[in-house]
Amino acid sequence: MPKYLLRKCLRLSFSGLVLACLVVLGPGCRSTPGSSAAAAWSYPPGVCPRFYAQYLPYPRRGLPTAQPLPATPGWTDPRMERDLARFTDAGLDGILLALQPDSLADPFQTERVQRFLTLAAARAPSGWEVVLMLIPPADDAVAVDRNALGRWLTAHGLLEHPNLRRRSGRIVVLLAPGVHAAGAPHPAVVAVACGAPGSEWRWPAPADPERFAPTGPDRQVVVYGGFWTDITAPDGVTAPGWALERRQGRTLQDEIQRAFDAQAMTICIASWNDYVAGTFVEPNSLDGMNPLRRLTAALRTARRHAAAAATPPTP
C-alpha cells in the first residue's frame, strides 16, 4: 500500500475511535469547563451572593492613577445613564452611592442625587438597590449629625425612592471609616458605622488579615481590584506605589473567588471608580475593559453555578 494511503487510513481510524467514544460514552467522555467549577461551588444549592460596587459620583481629592473611558466631566444625565447600563449589564445587584458629607449641603449635588435615584427607579431591574454611603473627603475624620442627615433625606423627598435600602422602613446609611455619627438619632435613618469594632458591615483595608471573614447577618466582605498607597521601601524611602497590583483585572477576579470560598453573601467591590485609591473597575486608560469583563464573567459564573447546584441531576 502506498505510504500516503496508509497515513490516510490511520487518520480515519483514529477519528473513528474518537467518534465512537463520544457516541458510546456520551458526556462522560468529554470535559466541560464548567463541570469541575460547579462541583466546587461552596454555597448551598440555589444560593448566590449579592454583588455591590462602591460608586463615587464626585472624585476624591488627590492624584488619580488613571482616567475613565470615556471621560465625562461632572455627574451629568448621560453619565448616569451610561453608568446605570454598565452596572446592570455587569450583573451588579446594586451600588454603594458614596457621597462626601459636605455634598449634603450643596443644592446642586443634592439635585443630582435625586436625578440618579429617579433614573435608577426607571431603568434598573426590580430589586436593584442603592445603598447610601458617606465617605471622608480625604484622610481626615469627619462627624455627621444623624438628625441633620434624616432631615436632609426628608426635605428632599429621598425617603420615597424605592431603590434605597431600608431596614424596618428606615433608610440605611453606611458611614465609611473616617466618618462618625454625632447628635441624636433620627427616626427615618439607620446609621451603620463600617469602621466600628464588631460592626455588621466592615470596610477593611487590603492589608487586613481578617477581611475575608464574612461579618454580620449579611455575611459581608469587601474585595479590591487594586490599591495605590504610600509604600516604604527597605531603604526607608516612602513613595506612592501599588500595594495591590491590578494585573489587568485578575486581582479582582482572584479576590472574588476568595469571597466565594468564604461563602460571603454580600460582596462589595471597592470600587467602581475610585481613581485615587486605584481600586476602579470601570473602563479606563490603564487597563481598558479588562477589569469590567472579568467582573462580569465572575458574576455570571456565580449565578450559573448557583442555578446548576439547585437543579436536581437527571436520572
Domain ranges of the chain: 48-292
Pairwise CA distance, residues 142 & 145, whole Å: 10
- DSSP-derived letter for residue 74 is S
**Among candidate residues 191, 187, 192, the one with its CA nearest the CA of residue 203:** 192
Distance of CA 219 to the CA centre of its chain: 15
- Cβ-contact 205, 168 below 8 angstroms: no
| SS3 assignment, position 36 | helix
Give the torsion through C-alpha atoms of 44, 131, 60, 114, to 10 deg: 150
Helix 290-310 and helix 250-261, axial crossing angle in degrees, nearest 10 = 30
Q: Which helix (H) or strand (E) holds 223?
A: strand 220-224
pLDDT tens, N- to C-terminus, the chain (315 residues): 444 444 444 344 434 433 333 333 333 333 333 333 334 688 999 999 999 999 999 988 889 999 999 998 899 999 999 999 999 999 999 999 999 999 999 999 999 999 999 999 999 999 999 999 999 987 788 999 999 999 999 999 999 999 999 999 999 999 999 999 999 999 999 999 998 778 899 999 999 999 999 999 999 999 999 999 999 888 889 999 999 999 999 999 999 999 999 999 999 999 999 999 999 999 999 999 999 999 999 999 999 999 987 777 666
Pairwise CA distance, residues 66 & 63, whole Å: 9
Place of cell 454598565: 86
pLDDT reported for residue 233? 85
Pairwise CA distance, residues 254 & 298, whole Å: 10
Half-sphere exposure (Cβ direction) of 64: Cα atoms closer than 13 Å: 13
Cell of 129: 438597590
Helix 77-90 and helix 290-310, axial crossing angle in degrees, nearest 10 = 40
- Indicate the CATH number of 48-292 among 3.20.20.80, 1.10.10.10, 2.60.40.60, 3.40.50.11690: 3.20.20.80
- Cβ-contact 255, 223 below 8 angstroms: yes
**Among candidate residues 295, 64, 98, the one with its CA nearest the CA of residue 194:** 98
- DSSP-derived letter for residue 125 is P
| SS3 assignment, position 24 | helix
Q: Which helix (H) or strand (E) holds 46?
A: none
Place of cell 486608560: 285
Cell of 262: 468564604
**Among candidate residues 195, 78, 54, the one with its CA nearest the CA of residue 132:** 54
- Cβ-contact 295, 301 below 8 angstroms: no
